[in-house]
A and B are shown apart, each in its own frame.
Chain A
Amino acid sequence: MRHRAAHRKLGRTSSHRLALLRNLATALFDKERIRTTLPKAKELRPWAEKLITLAKREDGRVHARRLVSRDVQDAAVAKKLFDTLAPRFASRPGGYTRILKLGARKGDGAEMAIIELIGSEFQPGKKEAAKKEAEKPAKEEAKAADKPAKADKPKAEKKAKADKPAKAEAKPKAEKKPATRKKKADAAE
């Protein structure tokens, strides 16, 4: 009989399980969107949401901070929970997270899921824009280094001349767009 057995054991001793939940909750508050197995996500949801509710407490802030910092032992993440996440969920009566089922993992067939804070949903292009920005300065330097070397051959010189103005025009535009998008995305968050 499994009467009144509310939680999963997740194949761990109670101390191991507590440590796992603490680590998962800290990662969730830090990254706002984490990928884990479905049973872990389902166990984490009520556990992490109770911490957010605790962080929303208005009276006795010091007491709430001490209660939370037992479980969220990363001081920076605990600070974020109180300073940014608690105000963000101030008007939401619970239900701060969402679980998305992803299907079975290759290897052991475990059902995977993404657990995310409401408002931290996937934004198409956000990651790519950040990557492009990181890559571009490096690429331009590499191209600038290549060009004088190519200029030795007459054909290459012509091509380089033809390409240069076009590329120069295209690049600043391409750079500006992801940057503005990212700013918007940051503002939306």
Chain B
Amino acid sequence: MPNPKRRHSKARTSTRRAHDHLTAPGLSNCPNCHEPKLPHRVCPHCGHYKGKQVVDSKEA
């Protein structure tokens, strides 16, 4: 079986992992209720979209 010839240093490991991270969702604030919401989606809090109530706030 093939095996590593050399030990992997801590620096190598952490360099590889430098770009491993989660990205935060691009939330914006609902213009109606000011709760955070995803862009291009109906506000899950108040059911408004593009200045109108488009779904029942309970069902959203």
Q: Are A and B a genuine interacting pair, yes or no?
A: yes
By a beta-carbon cutoff of 8 Å, the part of chain A in contact with chain B is 100-103, 114, 121-122, 124, 127
26 contacts between A and B (CB under 8 A): A100-B42, A100-B54, A100-B55, A101-B40, A101-B41, A101-B42, A102-B41, A102-B42, A102-B44, A102-B55, A102-B60, A103-B38, A103-B42, A103-B44, A114-B42, A114-B54, A114-B55, A121-B52, A122-B47, A122-B53, A122-B54, A122-B55, A122-B56, A124-B53, A124-B56, A127-B56
- A-B pairs under 8 A by CB, number: 29
Q: Which residue of A lies closest to B44 (CB)?
A: A103
**B residues with CB within 8 A of A:** 38, 40-42, 44, 47, 49, 52-56, 60
A100 to B55: give the CA distance in the assembly, Å.
9
Closest chain B residue, CB of each to CB of A126: B56
Q: A114-B42, A114-B54, A121-B54 are in contact. List 12 more A-B contacts (CB 8 A).
A: A100-B42, A101-B41, A102-B42, A102-B44, A103-B38, A103-B41, A103-B44, A114-B55, A121-B52, A122-B55, A124-B56, A127-B56
Residue of A103, A122, A124, A127 with most partner-chain B CB within 10 A: A122
Distance between A116 CB and nearest chain B CB, rounded to angstroms: 9
CB contacts (< 8 Å) of B49 on chain A: these are: 100
Q: Which residue of B lies closest to A128 (CB)?
A: B56
